[in-house]
Chains A and B, each alone.
Chain A
């Protein structure tokens, strides 16, 4: 009997548990998955909570409902990974799990305490966030009675999970305040450490233009050093200062502490992997899927899904003694909600930046790349159904794992 242990039952862990459970012979393989938290959060839904579009109930389900019978689910914090000796120590009963193969899928979390002044007294009052369910719910409550003023959205540093989420927040805020008759009393500013609205040049230009049309001001190259909560201003390392009445922070994102404790991570607790096979660069029986990996692509659910597709095929090769194929291309496919019932879509990988065009069918769509359409908005809203019903269950989506150039246009 061989043992496969999966750490983390979030998007990547749950998907890979389902996929491998279906593919591996249960007489020969024991699959165990560990998580500290009973609840599975549909994190893309957090974005909609502050604006009253979703409630907390729309984004939570029990983790157990998504783990197939035949896979052992253990609810416990993970204490330590001893990669030299192929075992994991859990907090609960100090149980030790030995493994032949390990999948790390512990994701990443926000760390507001890493920025001086951010988590002081004003946290939850004039400073809010939407990257956790509790933060998003508190912000919804705050916005219901907010009378307007200077709204500043700040990303502390990259990488963050879902790098388009702050842009979506800005555009939904514009839409929300317009609908509530408040827009002329709200000043919306985006302070980002990037040189423009987004990372890649063509998308940055498209998205920058859209923000400008919506009267959202972008302050680029703003790397925050500290918050001065009493003066209500954020200060960058090069002493630029921005005043706010309401600060929405996307705090520093880091991999889980268990990665640091186990000596497996980089400076932000992400695990270095081969970018085409997701195999740990240090241990050949460890693979890292989802946000926990140090990869030069977006940290997103869609990326985790494509990574699972490539990994599952490779894992079957590996156990049959074949070489791993360098199949993972960093493919990301993200709907960007842009307010007023519209959205955009971007599709890219390690080598090809987001380009305009149609997806998935060239010339037809139904989705348009880098353009605001109602169809893209429906794509985003349908994604929740796909997430719970297809993606987590490890089913193949009707989309290729590797990016295709068909339908994309260079200008």
Chain B
């Protein structure tokens, strides 16, 4: 597995740039990955979604799908797209240091 340095920390990533070990994640890493994804500074609304995804992944072992996020974090699909434009589930998963959501096979 390749590694890379984000926010001063060396972490393992897969070839699509998703971190492979959620335990290596930190809030600073999230901020830097968010900038890479072209997002502005992370707001409270962003963190609510990120926190939910981290918890969900800790419980189920995988990144939640878009549908699970909208139901679980009580955010509308529309708002989720405004927060994380273009493919929100994938974007949140990457920023939250989780693997790629399995929804799409």
Measured CB to CB, the residues of A under 8 A from B are 157-159, 163, 193-195, 199, 201, 221, 223, 225, 237-238, 267-268, 296-298
Contact = CB atoms under 8 A, between A and B. Distances in A.
A296 B81 contact: no
For the complex of A and B, the 4 pairs showing the least CB-CB separation, nearest first, are: A296-B102, A237-B81, A221-B86, A238-B81
Nearest to B62: A296
B81 to A, nearest CB: 4
A221 B87 contact: yes
15 contacts: A157-B67, A158-B103, A159-B103, A159-B105, A195-B87, A195-B90, A223-B66, A223-B77, A223-B81, A225-B78, A237-B78, A238-B82, A267-B67, A267-B68, A267-B71
Interface centre among B86, B87, B90, B104 (most CB of A within 10 A): B104
Interface of B: 15-16, 66-68, 71, 77-78, 80-82, 85-87, 90, 102-105
A158 B81 contact: no
A159 B103 CA distance: 6
Contacts of A195: 87, 90
The A interface, classified by DSSP as helix, strand, loop or mixed, is: loop
A193 B90 CA distance: 11
A280 B25 CA distance: 32
Contacts of A296: 102, 105
A300 B15 CA distance: 27
A163 B68 contact: no
A296 B101 CA distance: 10
A223 B80 CA distance: 12
A194 B81 CA distance: 14
Given A163-B105, A194-B104, A201 B81 contact: no
A119 to B, nearest CB: 19
A268 B105 contact: no
B77 A225 contact: yes
Nearest to A236: B81
A358 to B, nearest CB: 24
Contacts of A157: 66-67
Contacts of B86: 221, 238
Contacts of A225: 77-78
A195 B16 CA distance: 12
A221 B104 CA distance: 12
B77 A199 contact: no
A296 B105 CA distance: 6
Given A195-B90, A223-B87, A225-B77, 5 more contacts: A158-B105, A221-B86, A225-B78, A238-B81, A268-B67
